[in-house]
């Protein structure tokens, strides 16, 4: 992955805007931002972003590649779509944030410690394994993300909620051993393999 | 033949013993009273939700949703897809639009679908809708009021629309900032909507309630507090993630903020089921961690 990152740096030199336009989902909208800041004011987790979206857009145009890709800002997006519906220029900001986060993640230069990045990858692995989400495994996977002892601690802290969900029939205690999922999970595997193959080729991730 | 027939996409949280299984129970009850037939998309898969962007990128995420569209068009032709989950609806509809916007993405998607032999079934013409959209546009408020036998008199309800049922698509004719359809549904079943519920479209944190609980709890506290301060008996929502986040963390929020919230959070379909004369169980009220006593009382009368 490091080599893909280097290849991108070599290819685009100092033109980070062009790199974003050609590689990031909906990235060709970035030049349309007029720096009004409505997105920043609309974001529910706005106070926790090092750089709100309009700043990220300006930093892209200013070529601040490392700062943007390693930022944990995009990972604060809750996908609430406030910014999308309020943007006067109709930039699909939510998707651009997702796209930037994914691009940084695929290049191996994303914020390493960010919990949402790690949780999100785990979620994707979970739902694509059988084609459907296994909520118990998602929860436990999250609690045990930082090691066994931490996992025990977090599980105990969440015990009441877990018992509540179980008692009301909203959590399957056999989820750990019994598979839910699609009959066509083999088909889904094949489809995803092909989809990654095409996307990796188009975006030069393996070069 | 039922009066209304849809191709149904329930989504992972609506499965048996999953987090929104109580919604599913009430949706089945509500639909039977309104003569709506839901034909489940055979072997549907996860939409990969918004948070799927990290591992899934663009095309793999589209592939997941395109499979559902193809299966629906193959097995339930001529039927609109209806989803009860905001994320499922959003994921499917976004996928449909993205593929319509780009020849390259369409070509890539068809190549991917070929792996499952589904490319010939994928027309991408089906209408993708949320259940509340179908209720409002096809059935209408008047017909929704017809089966009411136990109006929810004196029940004060804060209509929490949340994010993804509302943005970016929303319901035709409703505003993003102050949608009123949930209040209208409450009124339709005889309840009392709290019209100045200012947190009705505030984000609960979504998937970040898992990964960034502290930041999300601040959001959830505001959502519950505003309903509480306006005298709500309960919060009602159309979204499984909103329901879960706003209900299950209240105790932790009380601990953290020194509050004493104990606010029931139910689905619109549960209100409707109770008003239509169903039992608490048929309305899925036994699925509430914070019991909705007022609704249980009405259902038990």
Alpha helix (H) residue ranges in B102-212: 103-114, 131-134, 140-145, 181-188, 208-211
Q: Is B45 on the interface with A (CB under 8 A)?
A: yes
**pLDDT tens across B263-300, in order?**
999 999 999 999 999 999 999 999 999 999 999 999 99
Of A151-155, A194-198, B53-57, the one with minimum mean pLDDT is: A151-155
Q: Flag whether pLDDT at A194 surpasses 70.
A: yes
- The DSSP-derived string for chain A is -HHHHHHHHHHHTT-HHHHHHHHSTTGGGGGG-----HHHHH-TTGGG-SS-HHHHHHHHHTT-HHHHHH-SSGGG-----HHHHH-TT---HHHHHHHHHHHHHHHT-S-SS-HHHHHHHHHHHHHHHHSS--HHHHHHHHHGGG-HHHHHHHHHHTHHHHHHHHHTT-S-GGGGTSPP--TTHHHHHHHHHHHHHHHHHHHTTT-
- At what angle are helices B213-229 and B240-248 packed, to 10 degrees? 90
3 state DSSP class of B6: strand
**A175 or A106: which leads in pLDDT:** A106
pLDDT the model gives residue B149: 98
pLDDT tens, residue by residue, B155-198 = 999 999 999 999 999 999 999 999 999 999 999 999 999 999 99
Does pLDDT of B115 surpass 90?
A: yes
Residue B8 φ/ψ, nearest 5 degrees: -100, 130
Q: Looking at residues B71-97, what average pLDDT do you find?
A: 98
Q: What is the DSSP string of B271-294?
A: HHHHHTT--TTTTTGGG-SS--HH
pLDDT of residue A180 exceeding 90:
no
pLDDT of amino acid A2: 60
Output the average pLDDT for chain A.
93
Proportion of chain B above pLDDT 70, given as a percent: 100
Residue B137 pLDDT exceeds 60:
yes
Instruction: Indicate the average pLDDT of chain B.
Output: 97
Please report how the helices A115-130 and A135-143 are oriented relative to each other, as an axis angle in degrees rounded to 10: 150
> Taking a contact as any Cβ pair under 8 Å apart, which residues of chain B between 216 and 235 contact chain A?
216, 219
pLDDT value at residue A149: 84
Which of A170-179, B129-138, B181-190, B218-227 is predicted least confidently?
A: A170-179
Q: How does pLDDT run across B220-255, given as a tens digit for each residue?
A: 999 999 999 999 999 999 999 999 999 999 999 999
pLDDT at A175: 83
Tell the CATH topology of B149-300: Rossmann fold (3.40.50)
3-state SS, residue B195: coil
How many angstroms separate the CA of residue A143 from the nearest CA in chain B? 9
**B116 and A128 in contact by Cβ < 8 A?**
no
Which band of pLDDT confidence, cut at 50, 70 and 90, is reported for residue B217? very high
- pLDDT value, residue A153: 85
How confident is the model over B113-122, as a mean pLDDT? 98
* Residue B2 confidence (pLDDT) above 60: yes
Instruction: List CB contacts of B166: < 8 A, sequence separation 6 or more.
Output: B174, B176, B179, B201
Residue A207, pLDDT above cutoff 60: no
Q: Are A45 and B208 within 8 A, CB to CB? A: yes
Residues B280/B295, Cβ–Cβ less than 8 Å? yes
Distance CA B181, CA B132 (A): 9
Contact between residue B187 and residue B263 where contact means Cβ atoms under 8 Å apart: no
The full set of domain ranges for chain B reads 4-130, 149-300
Would the CATH topology of B4-130 be identical to that of B149-300? no
Picking from A76, A127, A170, the nearest residue to B17 by CB comes out as A170
Look at B43 and A190 and tell me if their CB atoms are within 8 Å.
Answer: no
- Model pLDDT, residue A165: 92
Domains in chain A with CATH codes: 2-112 (1.10.1060.10), 115-197 (no CATH)
- Confidence category of residue B1, pLDDT binned at 50, 70, 90: confident
Spatial separation of the C-alpha atoms in residues B197 and B223, rounded to whole Å: 9
* Cα gap B114→B120, rounded to integer Å: 8
Tracing tokens 């999970």 back to the chain, one arrives at A185
Q: Which residue, among B18, B99, B114, would best test binding to A if mutated, counting the most A CBs under 10 Å from its CB?
A: B18
Contact state of A80 with B164 under an 8 Å Cβ cutoff = yes
d(CA A182, CA A58): 44
User: What pLDDT score does A179 carry?
Assistant: 65
Split at pLDDT 50, 70, 90, the class of A147 is confident
Please report where in the chains the tokens 């953290």 appear, as a residue. B256
Taking only the tens place, the pLDDT of each residue in A95-119 is 999 999 999 999 999 999 999 999 9
| B119 contact A CB<8A | no
pLDDT at B119 > cutoff 90: yes
CB of A169 within 8 Å of a chain B CB? The answer is: yes
Helix, strand or coil for residue B145? helix
Contact B57 A79 (CB under 8 A): no
Q: Which fold has domain B4-130?
A: Glutathione S-transferase Yfyf (Class Pi); Chain A, domain 2 (1.20.1050)
CA-closest candidate to residue A40, choices A58, A53, A24, A22: A53
């Amino acid at each position: 992955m490091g080599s893909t990152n280097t290849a991108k740096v070599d290819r685009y030199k100092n033109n980070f805007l062009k790199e974003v336009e050609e590689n990031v989902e909906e990235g060709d909208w970035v030049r349309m931002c007029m720096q009004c800041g409505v997105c920043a004011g609309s974001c529910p987790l706005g106070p926790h972003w090092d750089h709100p979206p309009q700043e990220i857009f300006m930093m892209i145009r200013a070529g601040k590649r490392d700062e943007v890709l390693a930022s944990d800002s995009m990972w604060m997006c809750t996908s609430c779509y406030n910014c999308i519906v309020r943007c006067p220029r109709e930039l699909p900001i939510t998707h651009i944030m997702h796209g930037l986060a994914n691009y940084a993640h695929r290049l191996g230069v994303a914020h390493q410690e960010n919990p949402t990045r790690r949780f999100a990858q785990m979620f994707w692995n979970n739902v694509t394994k059988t084609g459907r989400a296994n909520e118990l495994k998602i929860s436990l996977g999250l609690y045990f993300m930082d090691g066994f002892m931490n996992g025990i601690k977090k599980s105990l802290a969440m015990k009441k909620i877990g018992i509540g969900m179980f008692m009301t029939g909203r959590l399957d205690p056999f989820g750990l051993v019994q598979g839910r999922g699609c009959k066509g999970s083999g088909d889904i595997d094949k489809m995803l393999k092909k989809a990654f193959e095409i996307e990796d080729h188009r975006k030069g991730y393996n070069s | 033949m039922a009066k209304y027939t849809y191709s149904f996409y329930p989504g992972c949280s609506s499965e048996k013993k999953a987090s929104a299984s109580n919604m599913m129970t009430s949706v089945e009850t509500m639909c039977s009273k309104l003569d709506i037939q839901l034909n489940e998309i055979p072997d549907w898969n996860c939409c990969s939700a918004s948070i799927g962007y990290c591992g899934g990128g663009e095309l793999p995420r589209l592939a997941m949703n395109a499979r559902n569209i193809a299966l629906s068009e193959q097995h339930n032709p001529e039927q609109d897809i209806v989803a009860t989950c905001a994320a499922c609806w959003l994921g499917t509809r976004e996928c449909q639009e993205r593929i319509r916007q780009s020849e390259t993405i369409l070509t890539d998607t068809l190549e991917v679908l070929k792996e499952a032999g589904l490319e010939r079934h994928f027309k991408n013409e089906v209408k993708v809708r949320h259940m509340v959209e179908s209720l409002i546009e096809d059935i209408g408020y008047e017909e929704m009021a017809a089966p009411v036998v136990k109006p929810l008199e004196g029940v004060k309800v804060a209509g929490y629309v949340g994010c993804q049922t509302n943005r970016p698509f929303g319901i035709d004719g409703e505003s993003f900032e102050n949608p009123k359809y949930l209040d209208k549904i409450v009124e339709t079943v005889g309840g009392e909507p709290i019209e100045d519920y200012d947190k009705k479209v505030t984000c609960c944190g979504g998937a970040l309630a898992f990964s960034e609980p502290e930041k999300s709890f601040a959001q959830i506290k505001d959502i519950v507090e505003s309903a509480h301060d306006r005298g709500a008996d309960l919060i009602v929502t159309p979204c499984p993630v909103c329901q879960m986040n706003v209900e299950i963390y209240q105790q932790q929020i009380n601990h953290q903020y020194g509050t004493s919230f104990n606010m029931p959070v139910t689905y619109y379909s549960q209100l409707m089921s109770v008003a239509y004369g169903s039992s608490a169980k048929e309305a899925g009220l036994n699925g509430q961690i914070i019991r909705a006593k007022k609704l249980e009382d009405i259902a038990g009368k």
